[in-house]
Amino acid sequence: MNSDPRTTPRRNRRHALAACLLATFGWVTGSSAQEPTWRTVDQLTEEERAQFDPNTAAPRDAAIPYLPAEPYPFEAPYTAEEMGYRSSEFAHIGRWSHSLVDVYGAITTSGYINQGVSVGYVMVTMPPGIEPYGAYLRDIKAGDVYARWMLYNTFPPETEAEQQLWMVYRTDPKITTKMDFFVYSPQMRRVRRQPQPRRDQRFPDNAQTFDDVMGRDPWELEWSLIGTDVLYKTVRYPNTRPTITLNDGQAGFVEKQTADIKPMSDEYPHYQSDGGVKCWVLKATVRRDLVPDYAEKTLLFWVDQHSFYPLRTEKYNLKDELIMIEVRNAEMANPEFGQHGYSASISLYWDLEHDIMSYSLHDGHTPHTWTPEQQAMIFTPEFMRRQWLVESVKSQALIEDPDHYFLRPEIHRDKFPAERKIVLAPELEARSQAEEAAGHLIFETAGASDTN
């Protein structure tokens, strides 16, 4: 819970020296090649100090002792724990009723690409108008279903009409079952209840784990602030894909220049003059007393300083080695909830251990009030047998060619070196550098006649 006892001035000087050496001899990308964009806690500006409460023993809620006593969404100054709670609000799927089409895929080192399209209906069992995460924390009883996600695959042909129903539970430190999970397979023509996926296990053919999708409950983590940073790019498009056609929900299909896509979308009012997004950088350590067999030891979150939206997440294993980077672009998907209305428009995950990069693009996101009849009809296991795509949501965002796949997330090797142990295989390091220079992924090793 300590804010960061290890970030002494002397250590900071060493970090700055390390960053300079890396900038001279190694691979330092993006804007960080000039002045460092990151600062440790003791280097916070006055404005940031006013927003940050270093207290690590904030009073607890009388009724729900694992929650801070201050009512959600808290008020400045924020403790690291409160920042963690705020950032946990922004799970992969928005916490309000809506419909969308999820375009997703994964690519390997060789250029093998596997994609899918799934229309999603999300029904949250909270009255409309209530800030959803506060209601989740305070008003939903542990063990109760608070959301139902119905997913209907429309691509590829092999899984067309395959469906999944996720019935998502409010959990607490003791009631840890996160969902009931049903699958309908058109090949089997049967609805099958499936075991809940293991929380820290990568989905097959993907870099995402179950918890990456569901989100992590903040009370299972110990939070500290390790500093601030400015992010300029999160999800990066290659120079082989200059435009993308997105489903804007209300406005229909809109072609966008990929170079113009910003991390928090155009509406975000807090960009710096140079386009950067000021972030808190939080460290979350998994509480072994609550989650003893978890494969992840720590996570680092870059959350924007105004809504606490997590734009970048890094996961470290039990050996403290970086194993996964997630970067997101967000959009204001539900203005009704103000700064709580941001949602992921695209998330990119890079599993460094297996060098798999997967993405999930949420297209056509539309807040949706489901009628009582629709609630009773759509969000049940037996509905899947009807193979009924009630409302089609279309997307044109599939990647046509492996060469058009997203660039790897930036490593930012210079930032917070004391907290970040990054071990990349030499071949992967070389390949990444070559990709940075080329502006797109490279699938073949050096020396071949055709490098792409």
Partner 1 sequence: MSRNARAIGGVLALVCLSAAPALGIAGEMSNMASKFDRAIATFNPIGKHVRKPIERAVPSLRFKGSVRQWSDFLIDTDDHIGFREQDFRFLQLQNLLELEMAYQVAPGLDINAVTHGLYDGVYDWQSSGGLFADGIDRTAEVYNDAERVLREFYVSYRTPRFDLLVGKQQVIWGKMDGQFIDIINGMDRRESVQLETEDFETRRLPTWMANTTLHFGRNSLQVLYMFDFEQDRQPLPGSPWASPFIPPASLSTDITHPVNRPSSSYFGDHEFGLRFDRSAGALTYGVIYGYLWDKNAIDHVIGVEPQLGQPSLLHFEPRHERLHHLGVTTDYATTMPQLPWVGSVPVVLRLEALWTHGVRFVDFTKQAAARAGDSTDGTAQHDTLRAAIAAEFGLPYNTTFILQPSYYHTFGWNKHLGYGFGGGIGDEWTILPVMFLSRTFAFSRDRLSAQFTALPVISGPEVGWQGIKTKLRVKYKFSQFVTGQLIYNGYDAGEPTDFYGQYDEWDNIGWELNYEF
Among residues 6 and 192, whose Cβ is nearest to partner 1? 192
Is residue 112 a contact point for partner 1 (CB under 8 A)? yes
Strand-pairing partners, residue 362, are: 102
β-strand partners of 229? 279
Q: Supply φ then ψ for residue 286, to 5 degrees.
A: -65, 130
248 contacts partner 1 (rule: CB under 8 A): no
Contact 118, 166 (CB under 8 A): no
Q: What is the DSSP letter of 198?
A: P
By CB under 8 A, residue 382 contacts partner 1: yes
Neighbours of 113 (CB within 10 A): 18
User: How far, in Å, are 45, 225, 269 from residue 52 at the CA level?
Assistant: 10, 9, 21
Closest separation between CB of residue 394 and partner 1, Å? 12
377 binds partner 1 (CB under 8 A): yes
Closest C-alpha to 323, from 193, 414, 207, 445: 207
Residues 6+ apart with CB under 8 A from 225: 3, 4, 41, 52, 54, 80, 83, 280, 281, 282, 283
Smallest gap from Cβ 296 to partner 1, in A, equals: 13
- Interface pick for partner 1 out of 42, 267, 336, 400 (rule CB under 8 A): 400
Q: Does 193 bind partner 1 (CB under 8 A)?
A: yes
Phi/psi for 46 (5° steps) reads -60, -40
**Is residue 293 a contact residue for partner 1 (CB under 8 A)?**
yes
Q: Does 391 help bind partner 1 (rule: CB under 8 A)?
A: no
Among 2, 8, 45, 110, binds partner 1 (CB under 8 A): 110
User: Interacting stretch for partner 1, rule CB under 8 A, among 93-101, 103-111, 213-221, 302-310?
Assistant: 103-111
Among 60, 190, 270, 288, binds partner 1 (CB under 8 A): 190
Give the one residue of 205, 266, 267, 336 binding partner 1; rule: CB under 8 A: 205
Measured in residues, the chain has a length of 452
Min separation Cβ 420 and partner 1, Å: 24
Q: Is residue 160 at the binding interface for partner 1, with CB under 8 A as the rule? A: yes
Of 231, 313, 228, nearest in space to 268 by CA: 231
372 binds partner 1 (CB under 8 A): no
Binding residues for partner 1, rule: CB under 8 A, are: 106, 108-116, 145, 156-158, 160, 167, 176-177, 180-181, 187-198, 201-206, 292-293, 354, 356, 373-374, 376-377, 380-383, 386, 388, 400-403, 427, 443-445, 448
